[in-house]
Structures are given as C-alpha cells and as structure tokens.
C-alpha cells in the first residue's frame, strides 16, 4: 500500500485504484506542502517538498523557485546542490541573483529595453544599465504563483496582464516541476490573447559539491555547441553566430571551467568570466530533447546532464556573486561559487530577426521541456 499526500493529508492507495487508472498516483513519491513565509501584504508563500528515491526537491510559490535540490554523491552522501536562502525574506530582498527562480516574461536581456513587434515599438523598464534583464523590475521571479500538486510534482501558474512590464498581451503561464529517482524535469507552457514575445527559463545556481562548498572552477563542463552568440560591452548579442573553435568557449570536449576563464579574451572581460549563450546542436523538429550540457564534480563524483527542447543555453559562471548576503546555513557565496545552465531562446531575439523567433500569437501554445539528470562517476 502506497501513501499519497495532498494538502497535508494522507490517503491510502489500494490495488483497486491502480486497476481503474491511478497507477501514477499509487507509484508517486511523497509530496508535502507547508508555509515558507508571508509577504508584506499577508499573502502566504507555500513550499512543496518532492521526494523520489534519494532525490529531494523543494519548490516555493514566490517566483516559482527551486529552493533546494538534494542529490547523493558517489558514496551515497546527500547534499543540497543549489544556492539559495533559508527563509523567505532574503529572497524578497534580493534583486540581483534570481536564485532558483522562473524568470520572464523575457529571460535574459533585451537591448536598450525596447523591441519592435507588428510595427509597434514597446518600451520596457531598464534594470540592467541600458537594458532589460529577466523581464524587468518586477519580473516573474518577484511574483506569487498559484500552485497545486500533480503526480510526482507541482504545477505553478501565473497570469501576466497586458502591459505588465511593458509587454503586450495577457499571458497565462504554467510551470510543472516533476521528480523521478534520478532527474528533475521542468515543463513550461504559455498562451496569450495578443501577439507578444516570450522567453522562460529557470535560474538555479548549481554547485555539485554542495552549496557553500568552494567554487566550481574545477568542475568539468561539456557543451555540445559549435557556435555561440558574442556580445557587446552591455552583454547584448551582436547578431553573430560565431564558431567556438579556437576560443575559450569551446566546451565540445570535457574541460574544467577554470582552465581558460582568465584568458585575455574580450568576451570574458565583458562578463568577468563566462556569461554566454551557446547555440545548441538540436534535431530539426525543434521539439525533441537534446543534450545541452553536462557537468562533473571530480571531488564528489556527482554528474549533471541537462537536456532540453530549447535552441540555446546560457552558461554563467557566477561572476557577480560577491558574498554580501549569507546564503543557506550562513554560507558565503563568493565569485564562482556556482554555475548556471539556463536553457532558453537567445538573448535579445526580438531585435534580431535571424535568431529563432520568440513571438507567441493567440491560438498558439508555447511548450518547452528541460531535464536535469543526476548520476555519479566512481
């Protein structure tokens, strides 16, 4: 007999239920829900804990954030491998890191905070110098999402009204987090009532040795991409799709993150390390999962493989972490304390017609999948 927890109450599943179509329910791991904190207006923020085998993930409704992700190492020792905070208040006060958040309506940057769509120019709040970053000053990371349990996970939803942060159309977004014994899957859906642009991703920071356990410069990274999108000094793509060959951005074979990070390279100088979009080698249908990256921590043997349906991935080496705010367990997150692997469409795509389109129209449903698959090497 298996136990399914819903809304804090436990229900017994018997074989008869499996016979009539509740197999997934009966095989589901434990899901619990509790209050993580309250917003200044009194709105409760809930956190959902998912457990499948040795993996445990916690997702909260503020920013639809991945708060923690516990993964075993080669010896079976479990550690939380994502950066974050122990309570709600530091998350609401943090306007820089986006720890674990779903970012949108447009993840990454839009140059000069403006774009043209259907012959009309739209202007967005500038929160990154002259540019708009991760949806503006009040992006999806700062919104309270509604949530409910689903088999093996949680689904979160958000309505972004027409004109929200300057974007056209009322957008309805759903994000599903589901857990298996070896993977965390994030599935994105969105619809709109008017033409708009959209780019959604998760902004988790990974340290496979465990959050707060040194830096990621010795992590061995592979990104199967032959091209990347160079940027200007404002970190806005120039429009080129440049070859990675003979550059510090060639991760087609496994390479330690820190091996070339200090090379005299203009792109590395602009970002103070890696903060680049890679053009993934993907199947022609654009809907199949393909490998976007893999990371090995030699110390613990933990390996992360990222698969996605998206055309790009942003590799960010935690260059702007400065240790000014203590993280979980009082840990100080300094420069390169973690890395981000954000599956996405390309930055500033609305201003680059040759990039894969990020336009979403009424009657269409945006759908993408990203999987974070964990294993160990001896």
Which of these, 323, 315, 355, 117, lies nearest to 224 by C-alpha position?
A: 315
Mean pLDDT, rounded, for 361-376 = 98
The pLDDT value given to residue 282: 76
Which of these, 350, 106, 359, lies nearest to 237 by C-alpha position?
A: 350
* Domain 2-376 top-level CATH class: mainly beta
The pLDDT value given to residue 285: 67
How many Å apart are CA 99 and CA 62, to the nearest integer? 11
**Pair of tokens at residue 132:** 């708009």
Q: Which residues are catalytic?
A: 203, 342
Which tens digit of pLDDT belongs to each residue from 231-281? 999 999 999 999 999 999 999 999 999 999 999 999 999 999 999 999 998
Which tens digit of pLDDT belongs to each residue from 279-331? 998 765 667 999 999 999 999 999 999 999 999 999 999 999 998 879 999 99
**Pair of tokens at residue 128:** 């990154």
pLDDT for residue 177 is more than 50: yes
Which tens digit of pLDDT belongs to each residue from 335-345? 999 999 999 99
The pLDDT value given to residue 378: 87
Question: Among 5-9, 100-104, 160-164, 243-247, whose mean pLDDT is lowest?
Answer: 5-9
Q: Which residue has the tokens 């998206």?
A: 310
Q: Which residue has the tokens 């010795």?
A: 218
Degrees, nearest 5: CA angle 193-195-198: 100
Do the Cβ atoms of 165 and 139 come closer than 8 Å? yes
How many Å apart are CA 89 and CA 38, to the nearest integer? 9
Do the Cβ atoms of 26 and 149 come closer than 8 Å? no
Degrees, nearest 5: CA angle 92-95-98: 85
Element containing residue 19 per DSSP (H, E) = helix 15-19
pLDDT for residue 58 is more than 50: yes
What DSSP character marks residue 90? Answer: H
Which of these, 346, 292, 350, 296, lies nearest to 112 by C-alpha position?
A: 350
**DSSP secondary structure string for all residues of 276-340:** EEEEE---TTS-S-EEEEEEE-TTT-EEEEEEESSSEEEEE--TT--S-S--GGG----TTS-BE
**DSSP secondary structure string for all residues of 118-135:** TTEEEE----BTTBEETT
Record the pTM.
0.91
* Domain ranges for the chain: 2-376
The pLDDT value given to residue 15: 34
């Amino acid at each position: 007999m298996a136990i399914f927890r819903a809304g804090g109450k436990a229900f017994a599943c018997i074989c008869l239920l499996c016979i009539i179509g509740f197999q997934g329910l009966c095989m589901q791991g434990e899901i619990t829900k509790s209050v993580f904190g309250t917003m200044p207006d009194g709105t409760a923020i809930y956190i959902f804990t998912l457990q499948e085998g040795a993996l445990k993930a916690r997702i909260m409704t503020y920013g639809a954030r991945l708060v923690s992700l516990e993964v075993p190492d080669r010896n079976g020792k479990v550690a939380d491998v994502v950066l974050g905070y122990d309570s709600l208040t530091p998350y609401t006060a943090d306007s820089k890191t986006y720890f674990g958040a779903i970012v949108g309506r447009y993840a990454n940057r839009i140059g000069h905070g403006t774009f043209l769509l259907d012959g009309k120019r739209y202007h967005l709040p500038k929160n990154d110098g002259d540019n708009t970053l991760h949806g503006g000053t009040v992006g999806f990371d700062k919104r309270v999402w509604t949530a409910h349990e689903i088999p093996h996970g949680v689904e979160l939803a958000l309505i972004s009204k027409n004109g929200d942060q300057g974007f056209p159309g009322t957008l309805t977004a759903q994000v599903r987090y589901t857990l298996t014994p070896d993977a965390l899957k994030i599935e994105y859906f969105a619809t709109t009532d008017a033409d708009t642009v959209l780019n959604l991703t998760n902004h988790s920071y990974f340290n496979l040795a465990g959050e707060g356990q040194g830096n990621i410069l010795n992590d061995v990274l592979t990104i199967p991409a032959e091209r990347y999108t160079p940027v200007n000094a404002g970190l806005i793509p120039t429009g080129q799709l440049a070859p990675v060959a003979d550059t510090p951005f060639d991760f087609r074979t496994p390479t330690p993150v820190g091996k070339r990070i200090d090379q005299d390279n203009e792109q590395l100088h602009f970002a103070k390390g890696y903060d680049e979009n890679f053009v993934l080698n993907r199947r022609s249908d654009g809907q199949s999962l393909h490998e976007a990256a893999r990371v090995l921590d030699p110390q613990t043997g933990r390996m992360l493989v990222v698969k996605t349906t998206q055309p790009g991935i942003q590799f960010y080496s935690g260059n702007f972490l400065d240790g000014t705010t203590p993280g979980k367990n009082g840990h100080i997150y300094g420069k390169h304390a973690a890395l981000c692997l954000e599956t996405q469409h390309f930055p500033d795509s609305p201003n680059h017609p040759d990039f894969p389109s990020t336009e979403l129209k009424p009657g269409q449903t945006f759908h993408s999948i990203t999987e974070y698959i964990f294993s160990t090497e001896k």
